[in-house]
Amino acid sequence: MKKAPGTVLNINICYNSVMKKLVILAAGFALVTGTFVSCATVDPGAKYPNMIANLDPFQIGSVDVSFDQMLSSKPKANSVDVVFYPRENRVALEFRHDLIQYKLYWDESARMHFIAGLKQYDSDFSAKTLLFQYNKTRAVYGKIKGKLTWRNFKFTAEYTASPVLELGYRFKDNNPFFTVMTRSAKDESKNSGSSAPMESTSFAIYFTRAQGESLAQLFDQDFLLEKAGVSDTQKPVTGNDPALDLY
């Protein structure tokens, strides 16, 4: 069979026309996709104004502390994990107490208050000027604003509050401890599912001087910068001393 004159030419013209349209559509799609990707990209520094490094949270140590226990005047020993959040420049104490999982966050200002309060406590301890009246000593080194999250179980809702943290000291079973009293505060996450907001429970964390010093070293900003790879400053952290302070 003979081909009609111009058939091949017409096919080539149609093919070239289709290919041009496909190229134009592909270019347009790439432009639109690139625009969406560009719009979706968020500057970490804008999202986290206190960021010191664009890193995920990581554990920097653990510290032995004590908590109150029912039907006993002697505090119960416990261990808390210390986790650094570089994007927020916060350090969290993560622990389980009375069947509840807590994360107590400390920003840079709160950490500085802890270090200063512990230093003053150590001075008062050495000068033998500590008082036995806890109502006078509970917040003797100041009050700061904290952030607390808690949940009962791993897969249950997480609650958030901004409790007042009182820095002071207290004698328990005739031994003095530096204390962080976390006051009760209302839930801000609105995860309770009822009109009445959930409230966090008040609790105290007890530190011997050695335990407090171990946490103070982990709270040190230069140490945190070094851990995040931002500074060359090297400050080694010593281990915890479980021995009680004799007064």
Is there a single domain that holds both residue 187 and residue 136? yes
Query: Which pair of structure tokens corresponds to residue 23?
Result: 């190229």
In whole angstroms, give the CA distance from residue 116 to residue 101: 28
Percentage of the chain surpassing pLDDT 90? 62
The answer to whether residue 51 sits within a structural domain is no
Could you tell me if 110 and 145 are in contact, meaning their C-beta atoms sit under 8 angstroms apart?
A: yes
Is there a single domain that holds both residue 33 and residue 134? no
Mean pLDDT of 119-134: 97
Whether the predicted pLDDT of 90 surpasses 80: yes
Q: Find all residues with CB under 8 Å of 144, minimum gap 6, and list them.
A: 109, 110, 113, 164, 165, 167
Mean pLDDT of 2-10: 47
Mean pLDDT of the chain: 83
Is there a single domain that holds both residue 90 and residue 30? no
Whether the predicted pLDDT of 161 surpasses 80: yes
Is there a single domain that holds both residue 120 and residue 220? yes
Is there a single domain that holds both residue 119 and residue 20? no
Whole-model pTM: value is: 0.76
Range of the domain at 199: 58-227
Is there a single domain that holds both residue 172 and residue 125? yes
Is there a single domain that holds both residue 176 and residue 94? yes
Of 49-58, 61-70, 145-154, 227-236, the range with the lowest mean pLDDT is 227-236
Of 32-41, 79-88, 140-149, 235-244, the range with the lowest mean pLDDT is 32-41
Mean pLDDT of 88-112: 96
Instruction: Identify the pLDDT of residue 20.
Output: 53
The residue ranking higher by pLDDT, 159 or 29, is 159
The residue ranking higher by pLDDT, 5 or 90, is 90
Mean pLDDT of 149-177: 92
Is there a single domain that holds both residue 18 and residue 108? no
Instruction: Identify the pLDDT of residue 29.
Output: 46
Instruction: Identify the pLDDT of residue 41.
Output: 60
Q: Report the domain count for the chain.
A: 2
Confidence bin at 194 (pLDDT 50/70/90): low
Whether the predicted pLDDT of 59 surpasses 90: yes
Query: Which has the closest alpha carbon to 200: 152, 156, 139?
Result: 152
Whether the predicted pLDDT of 27 surpasses 80: no
Is there a single domain that holds both residue 130 and residue 15? no
Is there a single domain that holds both residue 65 and residue 164? yes
Instruction: Identify the pLDDT of residue 153.
Output: 76
Instruction: Identify the pLDDT of residue 193.
Output: 59
How does pLDDT run across 176-189, given as a tens digit for each residue? 999 999 999 999 98
